[in-house]
Amino acid sequence: MLHPQDVAVILLNYNGAQDTIACLHSLYTLETLPGAIIVVDNASVDDSVPRIMSAWRQWATPRLVHAQNPGEKKEPAKALLLQLDENNGYASGNNAGIRLAKSLTSCTAYWILNNDTELDHHALEALCKRYNMAEGPSLVGSTLVFHYDKMTIQCTAGSRLIPALGLTTPLHHGMTITELRSISIAETEKILGDITGASLLLHKDVLQHTGLFREDFFLYLEDTDFSIRARKAGIPLLWARDSIVFHKEGGTTGAASANNARFQRPLWVDYLMLRNRARLVRDHYPLGIPLLCASYLVVAFKRLLRKQRDRVPLVFKALWHGLAGKMGKPDWLR
């Protein structure tokens, strides 16, 4: 049986102290506290580390550890801030947090949680309850609700996947919290193609089948790739309906802004989403590559309609890089 005390929470921070502190405060109001909380600072270039450490001391006694020597003090800890020397992306940061949890905590499961989230008091209890209903290791996701409108669902655990296109559609997006009880858990889990990394609970035994998150994606769709690999290994994707997580959505990267219709993604975000989508199809659904290529013509046409002519070459560059395996951190972000 999995209990909250068996779970290490992993929060990734990059220049987002305000969000991270709010998330930490939320964690310390949970009905039952997790076994450990690990903040991974992804080489922030602002004052995130001292601000987080100072605020964190309201609720715990956090220990600061460095990437060069994370295991310098071998005694277990319940509050850790891991300071990385370089930002190598979402997967790399979370993988570092998982490794630290393995070495400096007694936890057997990991809750990957976006730092731009705040939690209902029962969020972790509900995740553990759904996990314990399954037979063997599984991935479990929460009900994500928009933070700016706490009545509207962003997704139920994750998305439906269109394999040949590498596209995902958030499940039950736009429905209201009052409709939550009318949504079938079994039917949702049947069509669940991925679990969003904004709130993802996994047992350490899952990693024996999947390995860690793929770091060559740098940012975006690592959670989809991880979910696909889990499903291929026979690991079910589950939804904890009563685990409510309020998500600010794209707060760090500027990837999305659901309450701003005029919002435009940064160029590098556009590139990474398109590149990683192509790589996802190449690796998992290669028969869909012709259809994928045709879909990028549509994407390019849409950029023209939006008067984003300068982005058209980027669309095809991203497609080529994804199919050719030119991955990792883009040069312009180094």
Flag the least confident range among 70-79, 111-120, 299-308: 70-79
Q: How many domains does the structure of the chain reveal?
A: 2
- The answer to whether residues 81 and 222 belong to one domain is yes
Dist. CA 12–CA 268, nearest whole Å: 20
Question: Tell me, what's the pLDDT at 264?
Answer: 67
Instruction: Please determine, for residue 254, whether its predicted confidence score (pLDDT) is greater than 70.
Output: no
Dist. CA 177–CA 179, nearest whole Å: 5
The pLDDT-based confidence of 262 (bands split at 50, 70, 90) is very low
Flag the least confident range among 34-43, 61-70, 120-129, 268-277: 61-70
For residue 194 the two structure tokens come to 């991925």
For residue 188 the two structure tokens come to 């949702």
- The answer to whether residues 234 and 272 belong to one domain is no
Dist. CA 229–CA 194, nearest whole Å: 10
Instruction: Please determine, for residue 72, whether its predicted confidence score (pLDDT) is greater than 70.
Output: no
Flag the least confident range among 67-81, 95-109, 311-325: 67-81
- The answer to whether residues 11 and 110 belong to one domain is yes
Question: Tell me, what's the pLDDT at 334?
Answer: 57
Instruction: Please determine, for residue 200, whether its predicted confidence score (pLDDT) is greater than 90.
Output: yes
- Judge whether 252 lies within some domain: no
Domain span at residue 227? Answer: 4-247
- Judge whether 257 lies within some domain: no
CB 142 within 8 A of CB 111: no
Burial 94-108 (b: 16+ CB within 10 A, else e): bbbbbebbeebbebb
CATH code, domain with 68: 3.90.550.60
Give bridge partners of residue 167 from the DSSP assignment.
162
> Which residue's entry shows tokens 């270039």?
45
Whether the predicted model's global pTM rises above the 0.75 cut? yes
pLDDT in tens, 134-191: 988 999 999 999 999 999 999 999 999 999 999 999 999 999 999 999 999 999 999 9
The pLDDT-based confidence of 249 (bands split at 50, 70, 90) is confident
Average per-residue pLDDT for the chain: 93
The pLDDT-based confidence of 45 (bands split at 50, 70, 90) is very high
Task: Among 213, 247, 281, give the residue marking a domain's end.
Answer: 247
Bridge-based pairing of strands 158-162 and 194-195 is antiparallel
Average pLDDT over residues 32-61: 97
Q: Which residues contact 263 (CB under 8 A, 6 or more apart)?
A: 256, 257
Give me the count of residues in the chain: 334
Closest among 132, 110, 330 to 240, alpha carbons compared: 132
Sheet holding 158-162, edge to edge: 167-170, 158-162, 194-195
Dist. CA 76–CA 249, nearest whole Å: 33
- The answer to whether residues 219 and 100 belong to one domain is yes
Where does the chain have alpha helices with state H? 17-27, 48-56, 90-104, 123-133, 185-191, 207-210, 222-232, 267-284, 289-305, 312-324
- The answer to whether residues 129 and 201 belong to one domain is yes
- The answer to whether residues 152 and 188 belong to one domain is yes
Task: Among 247, 278, 299, give the residue marking a domain's end.
Answer: 247
The winner for highest mean pLDDT among 19-23, 245-249, 255-259 is 19-23
Question: Tell me, what's the pLDDT at 261?
Answer: 43
- From residue 90, alpha-carbon distances to 41, 169, 334 in Å are 11, 21, 15
Where does 252-311 have alpha helices with state H? 267-284, 289-305
- Judge whether 75 lies within some domain: yes
- Judge whether 152 lies within some domain: yes
- Judge whether 218 lies within some domain: yes
- The answer to whether residues 62 and 206 belong to one domain is yes
CB 112 within 8 A of CB 200: yes
- The answer to whether residues 20 and 124 belong to one domain is yes
